[in-house]
């Protein structure tokens, strides 16, 4: 029986850096017309879009979004419930990643919350972390 060696596959969309794949976030003067040039950057942008959109905010998709900004007004964050909500949104709208972990840090003096999400890209099994900071 032959032994197959796994080779890292290249995505054809990543080969031409002059072609943009999607919209880059945040939408500002720099990213408005620049866009994303790799599949992994676009997946990260899609994830940010899901995390920051409030449920009911997107037309014709009333269940789309997690609405993380509303957490800054919560006294106590139920991480298990939040993780389940994020996981269900990722499974439905960003199926290219797998959530590994979530944690949050609050600071009473600075009136801020930081949320860290660690996930794996299913395309190449690489790991990435997103840090979202909210101040009130």
Residues 88-99 pLDDT 10s: 999 999 999 998
Tens of pLDDT, residues 21-56: 777 777 777 766 777 878 888 888 899 999 999 999
What pTM did the predictor assign?
0.79
CA 30 to chain centre: 20
| pLDDT tens digit sequence for 68-77 | 888 777 777 7
- Yes or no: say if 38 and 14 are a contact pair by the CB < 8 Å rule: yes
Q: What is the structure's pLDDT at 15?
A: 62
* Residue range 102-111, pLDDT digits in tens: 888 877 766 7
The residues that bridge with 133 in the sheet, in sequence order, are 114
């Amino acid at each position: 029986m032959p032994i197959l060696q796994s080779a890292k596959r290249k995505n054809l969309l990543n080969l031409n850096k002059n072609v943009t794949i999607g919209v880059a976030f945040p939408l500002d003067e720099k990213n408005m017309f620049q866009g994303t040039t790799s599949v992994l950057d676009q997946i990260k942008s899609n994830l940010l879009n899901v995390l920051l959109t409030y449920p009911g905010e997107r037309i014709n998709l009333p269940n789309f979004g997690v609405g993380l900004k509303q957490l800054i007004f919560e006294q106590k964050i139920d991480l298990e419930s939040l993780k389940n909500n994020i996981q269900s949104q990722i499974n439905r709208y960003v199926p290219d990643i797998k959530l590994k972990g979530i944690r949050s840090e609050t600071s009473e003096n600075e009136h801020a919350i930081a949320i860290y999400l660690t996930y794996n890209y299913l395309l190449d099994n690489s790991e990435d972390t997103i840090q979202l900071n909210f101040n009130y």
